[in-house]
Amino acid sequence: MERITLHDKTFRTYIPYAEIDKAISKVAQQINRDLMNEDRPVFLGILNGSFMFTSDLMKKIDLNCMVTFVKLASYSGTESTGDVKEVLGLCADITGRTVVVVEDIVDSGTTIVKLVEDLKKKNPKQIKICTLLLKPDAYKQEIPLDYVCIRIPNDFVVGYGLDYNNLGRQYKDLYVID
């Protein structure tokens, strides 16, 4: 088991890349099947956390589609602040299109609720949610999560795009606080 130190905290290997890759393949297959008849769906990655996931997911999507990003921020340290800021807005026109939101992790669901509210104002045909990780014990929202790669307990994880105060995003595996 590998340990990494970020700021004042130590993390240990939690989910190795091979397992992440397998889970993404499964979800990609479902998306390919479900959206086969949609006209150029828009995959919307949520920066910064989902940059690595979006990249790996998209390599497995064989639909004629668009990929774009928005930047949101709600976390400070290891705690959700509940206050979601849109740091970089949506440029693509999603009117009448199927949108697949690509998230790194859904925790309380505050981010997803705010995002879906904003996206609905732009009149998409439908909004699907795809997340690499879900903390089912923390998620108390109504919005259905259409594609979940991996379910985890309420632990704080880093790596594979996820950070602890801006560090640790570049690691290929997922790590959990030790």
Task: Return the active site residues.
Answer: 107
Interatomic CA distance for residues 145 and 136, integer angstroms: 11
Residue of 21, 43, 7, 27 lying closest to 158 (CA atoms): 7
Binding mask 103-122 for Mg ion (x = CB under 5 A): -x------------------
Interatomic CA distance for residues 106 and 114, integer angstroms: 12
Under DSSP, the state recorded for 54 is H
Nearest to Mg ion of 38, 80 (CB atom)? 80
Interatomic CA distance for residues 6 and 116, integer angstroms: 32
Three-state secondary-structure class, residue 58: helix
Closest CB 84 distance from ligand 5GP, rounded Å: 6
Binding mask 21-40 for Mg ion (x = CB under 5 A): --------------------
Interatomic CA distance for residues 95 and 17, integer angstroms: 36
User: Does residue number 51 form part of the binding site for ligand 5GP (CB under 6 A)?
Assistant: no
Out of 71, 74, 92, 165, name the contact with ligand 5GP by CB under 6 A: 74
Out of 24, 27, 44, 49, name the contact with Mg ion by CB under 5 A: 49
Other Cβ atoms closer than 10 A to 85 = 10
Q: Which stretch binds ligand 5GP (CB under 6 A): 14-22, 24-32, 72-80, 94-102?
A: 72-80
Site residues for ligand 5GP per CB under 6 A? 49, 74-75, 80, 103-111, 156-158, 162-164
Site residues for Mg ion per CB under 5 A? 46, 49, 104
